[in-house]
């Protein structure tokens, strides 16, 4: 039976330390860290995530501004807002919640965010920095995953780490972070030939695909650290991860639940990144 990694509890710890650090920072500088969260359209999941981000800002003592734009917002309108926020002295972090409606080119929007305010770490400047090892910001979900792994007490150096999924938000950046910690990293995706053969070798397995319960016990090595990034809404309204939790928990060494694993860490790390952004104020 594995240890269940409590993401809610660790995220709460992190928010508490950000709150304390923010208090000291405000007293010393008079600067209140400010986060702008932009949501285009009415995707229900995005609304939940954005709501949680605003709530976390209030908890740690940040200014937060929410920009809720209609689904038919044009690319030009959104670019204009980003430009305004880039020049807004009260805003240190800008987060444009993804996915965006199809009339808007996501790449263009991300590239328009000032790299010093890019608390998502998605701007090409920061992606480049991640590749070479010195980004201004590490993307929130991968940063949260690294913290969860660190808290198990295992060392990554020399371990086999397997990432299932190659998105720009999770798969690619987490692979780079694991590599930076000297893990031997394999990235799997939909064209991978024998997925179970690869995942079964993993000391650390990251599931970031978006397919409910696709990682089954036969695909997992005994004692592995299993991190489940999937947030899949089932027909019955419940959430399920990419990992078949019960059977994998019986075999893994450590496992994250969904909900209550990676999700809350994403938001806690956004708070950390926003405080870092405020400290960079030039
Ligand atoms: N720009 N877009 C941008 N940055 C991000 O970092 C995100 N992401 C992903 C989607 N789009 C984004 C998020 O914020 C996913 N994501 C996210 C954030 C929070 C949670 C899940 C995903 C979360 O709080 N999950 C809860 C359950 C929430 C529920 O009940 O629906 C959990 O315990 O897993």
pLDDT per residue of the chain (282 residues) written in tens, 0 to 9: 899 999 999 999 999 999 999 999 999 999 999 999 999 999 999 999 999 999 999 999 999 999 999 999 999 999 999 999 999 999 999 999 999 999 999 999 999 999 999 999 999 999 999 999 999 999 999 999 999 999 999 999 999 999 999 999 999 999 999 999 999 999 999 999 999 999 999 999 999 999 999 999 999 999 999 999 999 999 999 999 999 999 999 999 999 999 999 999 999 999 999 999 999 985
Beta-strand (E) ranges in the chain? 3-4, 34-40, 63-69, 93-96, 160-164, 184-188, 204-207, 225-228, 232-233, 239-240, 254-255
Which pair of structure tokens corresponds to residue 177? 């972070």
Q: In this predicted structure, what is the pLDDT of residue 135?
A: 96
Whether 218 is catalytic: no
Are both 29-117 and 140-263 of the same fold? yes
With a CB cutoff of 8 Å and minimum separation 6, the contacts of 81 are 38, 67, 69
Contact 170, 191 (CB under 8 A): no
Residue nearest to atom 19 of ligand 1 (CA): 263
Ligand 1 atom with least separation from CA of 98: 2
Residues within a 6 A CB radius of ligand 1? 48-49, 52, 95-98, 120, 140-141, 231, 239, 258-260, 263-264, 266-267
Which pair of structure tokens corresponds to residue 135? 């980004």
Which residues, in sequence order, are bridge partners of residue 93? Answer: 35
Query: Sheet holding 204-207: strands in order across?
Result: 3-4, 254-255, 225-228, 204-207, 160-164, 184-188
CA-based end-to-end distance of the chain: 50
Task: Measure 100 CA to ligand 1 centroid, in angstroms.
Answer: 14
In the CATH scheme, what architecture does the domain 140-263 have? 3-Layer(aba) Sandwich (3.40)
Contact 183, 157 (CB under 8 A): yes
Q: How far apart are CA 34 and CA 26, in angstroms?
A: 12
Where along the chain do its domains lie? 29-117, 140-263
Contact 231, 7 (CB under 8 A): no
Report CA torsion sign: 56, 58, 60, 63: positive
Residue nearest to atom 23 of ligand 1 (CA): 263
Catalytic residue among 117, 118, 120, 221: 120
Q: How far apart are CA 187 and CA 22, in angstroms?
A: 37
Residue nearest to atom 10 of ligand 1 (CA): 98
Task: Measure 230 CA to ligand 1 centroid, in angstroms.
Answer: 10
Residue nearest to atom 11 of ligand 1 (CA): 98
Task: Measure 231 CA to ligand 1 centroid, in angstroms.
Answer: 8
Whether 97 is catalytic: yes
182: left (phi over 0), alpha (psi -120 to 50) or beta: left
Indicate the SS3 state at residue 21: helix
Q: In this predicted structure, what is the pLDDT of residue 245?
A: 98
Task: Decide: pTM greater than 0.85.
Answer: yes
Q: DSSP code of 138?
A: -
Residue with tokens 């890019």: 118
For domain 29-117, give its CATH number from 3.40.920.10, 3.40.50.10860, 1.10.357.10, 3.90.1150.10.
3.40.50.10860
Ligand 1 atom with least separation from CA of 95: 1
**Closest CA relative to residue 54, chosen from 281, 274, 256, 228:** 274
């Amino acid at each position: 039976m594995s240890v269940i990694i409590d993401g809610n509890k660790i995220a709460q710890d992190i928010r508490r330390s950000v709150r304390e650090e923010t208090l000291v920072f405000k007293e010393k500088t008079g600067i209140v860290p400010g986060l702008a969260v932009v949501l285009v359209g009415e995707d229900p999941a995005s609304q939940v995530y954005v709501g949680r981000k605003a709530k976390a800002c209030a908890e740690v003592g940040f200014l937060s501004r929410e920009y809720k734009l209609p689904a038919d917002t044009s690319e030009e309108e959104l670019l204009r807002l980003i430009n305004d926020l880039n020049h807004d002295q009260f805003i240190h972090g800008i987060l444009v919640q993804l996915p965006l409606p199809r009339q808007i080119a996501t790449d263009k929007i991300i590239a328009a965010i000032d790299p010093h305010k890019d608390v998502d770490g998605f701007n090409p400047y920061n992606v480049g920095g991640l590749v070479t090892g010195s980004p201004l910001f590490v993307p929130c979900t991968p940063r949260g995953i690294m913290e969860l792994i660190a808290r198990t007490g295992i060392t990554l150096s020399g371990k086999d780490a397997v990432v299932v999924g190659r998105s720009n938000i999770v798969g690619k950046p987490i692979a780079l972070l694991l590599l930076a910690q000297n893990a031997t990293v394999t990235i799997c995706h939909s064209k991978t030939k024998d997925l179970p053969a690869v995942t079964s070798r993993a000391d650390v397995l990251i599931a970031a695909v978006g397919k409910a319960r696709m990682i089954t016990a036969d695909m997992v090595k005994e004692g592995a650290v299993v991190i489940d990034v999937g947030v899949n809404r089932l027909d019955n309204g419940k959430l399920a991860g990419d990992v078949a939790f019960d059977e994998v928990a019986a075999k893994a060494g450590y496992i994250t639940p969904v909900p209550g694993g990676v999700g809350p860490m994403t938001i806690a790390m956004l708070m950390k990144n926003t405080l870092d952004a405020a400290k960079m104020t030039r």
